[in-house]
Amino acid sequence: MRLPVALLPLMLATPVQGETPLRVTTDSSAYCGELAARVSNQPGARQEVVRNLAEEGQRLCDTGHVRTGIAKLRRALRAAQGMGG
Amino acid sequence: MPRAEHIHAPPLIGLLRSASGRFALFFTAFFAAAATAAAVILWWNTAGALERQVDAAIRADAAALTDRRRMPTVEALAVAIEDRLALDVQNEALYLLLAPDGAKLAGNLEAWPSEANAEQPWIRMPLLRDGLVSEARILRLDMSGGYRLLVGRDVAEKLRLRGLLSEGIAWAASASAAIALFGAWGLRRALERRLSPVYGTAKEIAAGNLSRRVPLSDRDDEFDRLGRIMNAMLDRIAQLMEGVRGVSDAIAHDLRTPIARARAKLEEALDGARDEAALRAAVEQGIADLDGIARVFQAVLRIAEVEAGARRAAFAPIDLAPALADAAELYGAAAEARDQKLVSDLPTSLPLVGDRDLLMQAVANLLDNALKFTPDGGTVRLSAELSPVLVEIAVADDGPGLPQEDRARAGERFFRADAARSTPGSGLGLSLVRAVAALHGGTVTLGDTNPEAERPGLTVTLRLPVG
């Protein structure tokens, strides 16, 4: 299925600058801990939904699935803010 | 074994040389242009829209953060950035806030890229996440107090979508190209198939089979119309060739008799002339016979000249009425000598555009014929009428007339009806009349003068357009 399709996007897209890629610091276990602390500081942190999401996120982070864990923790934070507000 | 001398052109040049190939290529190019236009519009409305959406989100985010910078301390801006990052479920947001001394105050980018120092505030950079390289779209903001901020988005998902779209367009383009080429091939084949009967016919005619005609289908399309026109042209050519052959045969046949007669008379005189006077009379008779033959040739050449249309340049506005009156007077005298009557009924004026000499020669031929076939004591009538578009000249006699079956052939060169064989003449008079009428865009019709009578007579009507 690999057609020489790279030509089209290459022709139409703006050229990518630089050779050294940027690095993101929020895809780390440390950021997992930072987010978990934020969640626990929220007024709605005790709610079951929030707690479940936060625990699941923490577990994923601990088992090496950092980005998925961070996504769960962010959802927990949103849920906590929504309930606390 | 002799080698073929025919040199084959490369396929593409061969295709360009053939009209059907060029039509097919034009069709392919047109189809390709239409497909490209469709792809560009699709790209603009999908991938292009996604890019514009990302840029708009970054711009809105940057505007909101710039508002935060208006607060007394920069900490409010740093907190807003950290809050945004904490709530970014899509994991796409990218920020970096630097103090004037270069210290990182907030954000999730590791370092300030050198590319962000360029004049252009918008940059596109590779982004490394989990060991995979994706792409970041970033806007640089220079804030008051020397603070610098980068606001951006990870566009990996958009790139994936764009890749899928590109692949889809590439497949669609390949399919379109294949269909266009197939269509072009089909178009070329269809054109060649429809033209092949014309080629075949032309080839056979070139090889000498003049009876061949283009076969027609019942579709009545452009090719059938072309075939019909070609067939009509071939019929006309065949008719002309038949005419030429007929004239050659007629010349050979009709001139053989007077030549043989002249020769016989001269031979007889040579053998049997009793004195010089008899020999002289025979030679004079021979010269007169040869003059008659020369006149026939002259008449044939004149008809050929008229039919070729060379005299059309001498056309001028003329009034035929006085000329007809003169002819009536001249032939009236000849008629009286045979106790015949020539009655004329002419208008005062007959204006038309044409060649006076030729028209008068035609009328003279008609009067000559009429007087020749009218019995002694008979009447010949010359009449003319003028209508808004036509001049009609009629010469009517009360001779034996012409049978219906001979009338169609009466204009052919050297044609003489059986009843006229005994009357002197060459059979060229009416041929010239027809040729003159055709040259002027007119017609000649033959009819009975008195349809009920035993001797119906003949009326020849010459109709000529006025303009």
- Which pLDDT tens digit goes with each residue over B412-463? 766 666 655 566 666 778 888 888 898 889 999 999 998 888 888 999 999 9
Look at residue B9 in the predicted model and tell me its pLDDT: 57
> Rounded mean pLDDT of B12-26?
74
Q: How confident is the model at residue A6 (pLDDT cuts 50, 70, 90)?
A: very low
Report phi then psi at A39, rounded to 5. -60, -45
Look at residue B231 in the predicted model and tell me its pLDDT: 93
Look at residue B320 in the predicted model and tell me its pLDDT: 92
Look at residue B414 in the predicted model and tell me its pLDDT: 66
Q: How confident is the model at residue B3 (pLDDT cuts 50, 70, 90)?
A: very low
Look at residue B363 in the predicted model and tell me its pLDDT: 92
- Is the pLDDT reported for residue B15 higher than 70? no
Q: How many CA atoms lie within 13 A of B421 on its CB side?
A: 4
- DSSP H helices, B137-210, are 156-206
Q: Which residues of B touch A17 (CB under 8 A)?
A: 115, 118, 123-125
Token pair in block for residue B122:
């918008």
CATH fold group of domain B47-154? Beta-Lactamase (3.30.450)
Look at residue B103 in the predicted model and tell me its pLDDT: 93
Token pair in block for residue A41:
């500081």
Nearest to B152 by CA among B99, B102, B115: B115
- CB B414, CB B254: distance < 8 Å: yes
Backbone CA torsion sign across B372, B374, B379, B385? negative
> Rounded mean pLDDT of B189-198?
87
Mutate to test the interface with B, among A1, A24, A40, A67 (most CBs of B within 10 A): A24
Look at residue B262 in the predicted model and tell me its pLDDT: 82
> Rounded mean pLDDT of B233-256?
80
Asked whether the beta carbons of residue B47 and residue A3 sit closer than 8 angstroms, the reply is: no
> Rounded mean pLDDT of B19-47?
84
- CB B367, CB B327: distance < 8 Å: yes
- Is the pLDDT reported for residue B12 higher than 80? no
* Average of per-residue pLDDT values in chain B: 85
Look at residue A3 in the predicted model and tell me its pLDDT: 40
For the residues of B125-151, what is the DSSP string, one character each? Answer: EEEEETTEEEEEEEEEEEPGGG-EEEE
Look at residue B424 in the predicted model and tell me its pLDDT: 65
Over the stretch B338-390, which tens digit does the pLDDT of each residue have? 889 999 999 999 999 988 888 998 899 899 889 988 888 899 999 999 998 89
- Is the pLDDT reported for residue A85 higher than 80? no
Contacts of A14 (CB under 8 A, 6+ apart): B124
Look at residue A73 in the predicted model and tell me its pLDDT: 95
**pLDDT greater at residue A77 or residue B252:** A77
- Is the pLDDT reported for residue B8 higher than 60? no
Look at residue A75 in the predicted model and tell me its pLDDT: 94
> Rounded mean pLDDT of B1-9?
46
Look at residue B255 in the predicted model and tell me its pLDDT: 74
Look at residue A84 in the predicted model and tell me its pLDDT: 56
DSSP B216: -
Contact pairs from chain A to chain B, CB under 8 Å: 104
Angle between helices A66-84 and A48-62 (to 10 degrees): 160
Min Cα–Cα distance to chain B from A58, Å: 14
Look at residue B187 in the predicted model and tell me its pLDDT: 83
> Rounded mean pLDDT of A21-32?
91
Q: How confident is the model at residue B137 (pLDDT cuts 50, 70, 90)?
A: very high
What b/e readout covers A67-84, taking b as 16+ CB neighbours within 10 angstroms? bebbbbbbbbbbbbbeee
**pLDDT greater at residue B5 or residue B403:** B403
> Rounded mean pLDDT of B188-201?
87
- CB B417, CB B401: distance < 8 Å: no
Look at residue B194 in the predicted model and tell me its pLDDT: 86
Task: Give kind and range of the element (H or E) at residue B335.
Answer: helix B320-337
What CATH number should be reported for the domain whose range is B312-465? 3.30.565.10
Q: Closest partner residue to A8 among B127, B133, B166, by Cβ?
A: B166
Q: Closest partner residue to A21 among B43, B126, B174, by Cβ?
A: B126
> Rounded mean pLDDT of B62-83?
88
Asked whether the beta carbons of residue B128 and residue A24 sit closer than 8 angstroms, the reply is: yes
Q: Closest partner residue to B110 among A25, A75, A81, by Cβ?
A: A25
Backbone CA torsion sign across B437, B438, B443, B447? positive
Contacts of B426 (CB under 8 A, 6+ apart): B254, B295, B296, B299, B414
Question: Considering only A39-53, B323-337, B416-430, which range has the smallest mean pLDDT?
Answer: B416-430
> Rounded mean pLDDT of B102-117?
92
CA distances B387 to B72, B95, B190, B351, B396, Å, are 110, 101, 54, 11, 20
CA distances B427 to B286, B294, B361, B413, B462, Å, are 21, 15, 15, 6, 18
Min Cα–Cα distance to chain A from B148, Å: 17
Look at residue B425 in the predicted model and tell me its pLDDT: 66
Nearest to B263 by CA among B287, B292, B299: B287
In chain B, the largest separation of any two C-alpha atoms, in whole Å, equals: 158
Question: Considering only B321-335, B400-414, B425-439, which range has the smallest mean pLDDT?
Answer: B400-414
> Rounded mean pLDDT of B295-308?
77
**pLDDT greater at residue A54 or residue B219:** A54
Look at residue B257 in the predicted model and tell me its pLDDT: 74
Q: What's the Rg (C-alpha) of chain B? A: 49
- Is the pLDDT reported for residue B175 higher than 90? no
> Rounded mean pLDDT of B112-129?
90
ipTM of the complex: 0.81
- Cα separation, A54 vs A46, in Å, equals 10
Domain assignments of chain B as residue spans, ordered by start: 11-45+163-206, 47-154, 312-465
Q: Closest partner residue to B169 among A8, A66, A81, by Cβ?
A: A8
- Is the pLDDT reported for residue A44 higher than 70? yes
Nearest to B57 by CA among B92, B19, B89, B16: B92
Q: Is B249 helix (H, G, I), strand (E, B) or coil?
A: helix
Domain assignments of chain A as residue spans, ordered by start: 26-85
- Cα separation, B129 vs B211, in Å, equals 85
Mutate to test the interface with A, among B124, B138, B154 (most CBs of A within 10 A): B124
- Cα separation, B427 vs B68, in Å, equals 118
- Is the pLDDT reported for residue B332 higher than 60? yes
- CB B465, CB B409: distance < 8 Å: no
Tell me whether B117 touches chain A (CB under 8 Å): no
> Rounded mean pLDDT of B62-77?
86
- Cα separation, B137 vs A16, in Å, equals 9
Q: What is the pTM of this model?
A: 0.50
